Amino acid sequence: MATINGKALVKDGKAVDRVYSNGQLVYGRNLLDGTRDFSGTWINPYFWKIDGTYKGLVVKKTTGKWNGIYKTFTVPKDGTYTFSAYIKSSGNTANINRFGGINSTSVQPIISKLIGNNFDWTRDTITVDLKANDSVWIKYEITSNGTDSILWVAGHKWEPGSTATPWTPALEDYI
């Protein structure tokens, strides 16, 4: 039986941050709190509206250009980390982009990516090598002036390692 002890999931007296089933990674600890419902301190929340749920997660929607919603992540220790989020777009010219930065407010090419236009729910992921105390942010934005452009986001997750696992809450959301 696993229990939460302090800020760790503990099973048989050992802290657990990954769970495997039949050799397949099925749980990776979400290091970013407030991602089920966008609680806590998020940047640019005023440009986004709640628009239902997806997979039990609150969905945020925007029709405006720029002003992506994000939460800054402070890296706990040197290593490889994976970010993932559910995203969806409507509009043939929305030009959805992923932007981000490490220890900077400027967008950095290592994180940036053109996602595309008019797509159904997908889980976008990126893996990066980070150092302890790095401050990292990732956001999604509409970058065109299309009048039919819509972007939805849900389920942001930072986790250790190079494999994106299904969304899980942060332990801090329960402690």
| Structural class in CATH, domain 27-173 | mainly beta
pLDDT of residue 1: 40
**How do residues 57-94 score in pLDDT, each as one tens digit?**
999 999 999 999 999 999 999 999 999 999 999 999 99
pLDDT of residue 75: 97
So where are the chain's domains?
27-173
Does the predicted model carry a pTM greater than 0.75?
yes
Q: Exposure pattern of 102-111 as b/e (b: 16+ CB <10 Å)?
A: beeeebeeeb
CB atoms inside a 10 Å sphere around CB 136 = 22
Q: Which of 102, 35, 10, 121 is nearest to 2 (CA)?
A: 10
pLDDT at 175 over 90: no
Measured CA distances, 24 to 9, 34, 67, 72 (Å) = 19, 26, 37, 29
